[in-house]
A and B are shown apart, each in its own frame.
Chain A
């Protein structure tokens, strides 16, 4: 089956060597969210990031006087949260489960500390995060083009 574009979360876990994978396993746990549960709030400290095993999570922008706006949905194998790696380590969006969702959560502080000590692990993690960030940037550019509008 198609393997050309792996989801970032799945990619993060699959590319690590045995020792690094064991470390990631040691700072992770399986979590379950019901529909409507909030994984993290906008502007909160980025202490935990997630890889979705099964389900759907929406990244939301909250705005006064109106319901939250979903700006992107994430699904199986996706990485939820990239701000944990960069100062000031605060979430830019709210993440909310749009369906019942199972995920693997990771202790962001522990992973950051491990990356500080292990440049090989840091490179692997950075590469996955950078690729995900570039993918989201490219998608956002396409969305900004308003491809389906009248003047195409």
Chain B
């Protein structure tokens, strides 16, 4: 995939505004306020989601929110979403149990540029809940390990209690063919890992800046700082991809809620090259 292809608006799914019924087959707490639900389509075959794309998840009678795919979504796989309870709809999603049904629209938006990363060193940087949209990326990188150069994940969270996917992180860390570095802003008594901001992990990982592709997801301030630090090491802004978080409503580019300068985050994003938005990220309150 080329840079220009990456920024091409993907086609909309058929029946783009019509939710399909999905059933919750499993629900598990990742942290005190974050839950992963696994979904399977009811009846019909589900749509295929690529890592980085998102679905509009509709809790009947409550509302609809955009949630990135955190696992599965391929042919014959269940679809996973990891959701933090911050509002009425996300709280309702976190309260779902196996057997409950939701409506799903999608897939929407641009995916992470996994094909473009072939034969390159890959840096994955995640902050907080931002690891969820990147989990399928890490899984794919490790599954197709020979396609990539060095593979590194740096991940920061508020505290040890806020780390997502604990057992999977351990599994990734046990591999010898990838660097997995985790840090927390605030430690507690049982934490023996790193303490400090996620940007502090960048000098620890090995990558060739001239041949590196980075995928970054987290709070926008964190993404901006990581992108700046990567640029300082020599990684080109067009080789750094970030995932925009905006208030998406229709997900098909009609309503304008997620407009970000000349783009709609739901259509030209959420995954965009940093080069495309780096000037905009300096604009106050945009």
Counting contact residues on chain A (CB < 8 A from B), the size range is 20 to 34
Kindly list chain B residues whose C-beta atoms are within 8 Å of the C-beta of A7: 203
Main secondary structure of the interface of A (DSSP, over half): loop
Q: Are A1 and B206 in contact (CB under 8 A)?
A: yes
- Given A3-B233, A7-B203, A67-B189, CB of A147 within 8 Å of CB of B219: yes
B-contacting 9-mer, from A21-29, A73-81, A113-121: A73-81
- Given A5-B229, A69-B187, CB of A146 within 8 Å of CB of B158: yes
Selected from A5, A72, A73, A146, the residue in CB contact (under 8 A) with B203 is A5
Q: Are A142 and B221 in contact (CB under 8 A)?
A: yes
Q: 1/0 per position for A41-81, CB-CB distance to B under 8 A?
A: 00000000000000010100000000101111101110000
How far in angstroms is the closest Cβ of chain B from A140?
8
Selected from A58, A73, A142, the residue in CB contact (under 8 A) with B225 is A142
Main secondary structure of the interface of B (DSSP, over half): mixed
Q: Are B233 and A73 in contact (CB under 8 A)?
A: no
A-B pairs under 8 A by CB, number = 86
**Which positions 206-256 of chain B face chain A at CB distance < 8 Å?**
206-209, 218-222, 225, 229, 232-234
For A58, give the chain B residue with the smallest CB separation. Answer: B195
Q: Are B189 and A72 in contact (CB under 8 A)?
A: no
Kindly list chain A residues whose C-beta atoms are within 8 Å of the C-beta of B204: 75-76
19 CB contacts below 8 A, A to B, read A3-B233, A4-B232, A69-B187, A73-B193, A77-B203, A98-B192, A139-B197, A142-B197, A142-B199, A142-B222, A142-B225, A143-B197, A145-B221, A147-B128, A147-B185, A147-B222, A148-B129, A149-B158, A152-B221
